[in-house]
């Protein structure tokens, strides 16, 4: 994979101080893109991802519509259906994050805000690459991969001392 074209949007209601810089978000996404999957961009090609930071109201609406869960969530991923590449880029999909939820979770879990964002960006990008956690064995594979990718960035295992729902 050659690089990343990152489309970034921030809802007017989002506090800019509560989101990572473009470079830090890009770094976490690029870390996840080092994983080779059938959905990974070919060598020498650019990946394109849309990253949106939205209000709790907007993420609740999306979560209700797509997951039938009428509550805010930290992040959602929307993989693009495989299509022929356009403009020499492989469109992987959209990542939507609710900073208010992320901020609350980081405080509750005793994590730095940046490290929690790194985890969620890697997690979301892995979804765009075809990973899932609906079944226990899938969750184990995905969590081990996330833990390894985060460790390579100097971030502690995000799953230690956490209770899974």
* CA distances for 50 relative to 4, 70, 80, 154, angstroms: 10, 24, 10, 25
- CA-based nearest residue to 97, from 126, 64, 67, 55: 55
123 labeled binding residue = yes
127 labeled binding residue = yes
- The structure tokens listed for 86 are 């356009």
Is residue 58 within 8 Å of residue 11, measured between CB atoms?
yes
Q: What are phi and psi of 10, to 5 degrees?
A: -130, 125
Residues 6+ positions from 51 with CB-CB distance below 8 Å: 6, 7, 8, 9, 25, 29, 94, 95, 97, 121
Residues belonging to the binding site are 123, 127, 133
Residues belonging to the binding site for Zn(2+) are 123, 127, 133
């Amino acid at each position: 994979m050659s690089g990343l074209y990152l489309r970034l949007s921030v809802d007017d209601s989002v506090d800019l101080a509560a989101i990572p810089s473009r470079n830090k978000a890009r770094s976490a996404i690029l870390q996840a893109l080092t994983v080779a999957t059938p959905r990974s961009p070919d060598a020498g090609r650019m990946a394109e991802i849309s990253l949106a930071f939205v209000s709790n109201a907007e993420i609740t609406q999306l979560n209700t519509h797509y997951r039938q869960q009428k509550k805010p969530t930290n992040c959602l991923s929307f993989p693009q259906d495989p299509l022929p590449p356009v403009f020499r880029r492989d469109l992987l999909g959209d990542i939507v994050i609710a900073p208010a939820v992320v901020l609350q979770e980081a405080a509750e879990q005793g994590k730095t805000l940046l490290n929690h964002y790194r985890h969620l960006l890697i997690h979301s990008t892995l979804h765009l690459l075809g990973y899932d956690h609906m079944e226990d064995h899938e969750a184990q594979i995905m969590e081990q991969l996330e833990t390894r990718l985060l460790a390579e960035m100097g971030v502690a295992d995000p799953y230690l001392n956490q209770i899974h729902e």
